[in-house]
Amino acid sequence: MISASDLTPAELAALLHFHADAGVDWLLEEQPVDRFAEFETMRAARQGARTAPPPRAEAPAPATRPQPERRQAAKPATPAAAAPPRATPAIPDEQAVEQARFAAESARSLSELKTAIEAFNGCNLKNSARSTIFASGTPEGRIMVIGPMPSADDDREGAPFAGRAGQLLDRMLAAIGLQRDSILLTNVIPWRPPGNRAPSPPEIEICRPFIERQIALAEPKAVLLLGNFTARHFFGGGETIHGLRGQWREISILGRSVPAIASLHPQELLTAPINKRLSWSDLLAFKNYIAAEIIG
């Protein structure tokens, strides 16, 4: 059996990331513990305490002359075990939002914004994520595709829309004449939440300045929003993606209106392939708008 002490730091880090990707929130003890035996011991101790006779009062012991205190030789200090790395301390949500807004507004290009996000430590999602996922592709095409938050594949590969969902998205884009490297792909949230859970409202507000600044710097003429979370984030309201998809709307980004249309996320299409017909209808609407407003 291999113990933790037999692994190198790099192997330990890889093992921890593997457990995090699998959704493990806590680990077992290194040595097995017999909980049944512990329970029996505790029960026997309680029963013994109930049946034991009360202690007898003993006569006070005769006073003895105090002995001089003996000094023990100091024991050599043993090296302490290395403490595990501490997570970045949390800061108040309002302060974190202000720090995120300042970092985003200070960036004058997408490369500067990427550096700012990678250096930002005000969101607890970063503590559990392996990678900071930033936009990939190019803003020169003036077309932007935005997803919700990184998946396990994204977090592992360090790029948005990786894995099977990313491969399906590539085929969807190719069907309307677009390539991954000719547009800009990104996510609303730059860090994968543990266990693929939904981001909390404070986490969303902390990340909001970064995605808004990405859109402002990229200056797209058309935006494709993928997934329920993404559509609600920009359109507002509580409707599902089936009520929000297929309709062109204007989203306000730092004082600038940007036309956007929502559709189903590729991961949803992998789960329910019957919805591909709805997605294809949205892609055709996106293609027609690009042909009329950008290419034409």
Q: Which residue ranges form the domains of the chain, and what is each CATH number?
A: 93-294 (3.40.470.10)
What's the whole-number mean pLDDT along residues 31-56?
A: 64
Torsion on CA atoms 215, 220, 226, 229, rounded to nearest 10: 30
Asked if residue 158 lies in contact with residue 164, where contact means CB atoms within 8 angstroms, the answer is: no
pLDDT of residue 278: 97
**Is the confidence at residue 272, as pLDDT, over 80?**
yes
Lowest mean pLDDT segment, chosen from 57-71, 93-107, 122-136, 145-159:
57-71
pLDDT-above-90 percentage for the chain: 66
Overall pTM > 0.75: no
pLDDT of residue 73: 46
Residues 158 and 215: their CA atoms lie apart, in Å, by 20
What's the whole-number mean pLDDT along residues 145-160?
A: 97
| Alpha helix positions (H), 22-66 | 35-51
Residues 84 and 26: their CA atoms lie apart, in Å, by 15
Asked if residue 251 lies in contact with residue 235, where contact means CB atoms within 8 angstroms, the answer is: yes
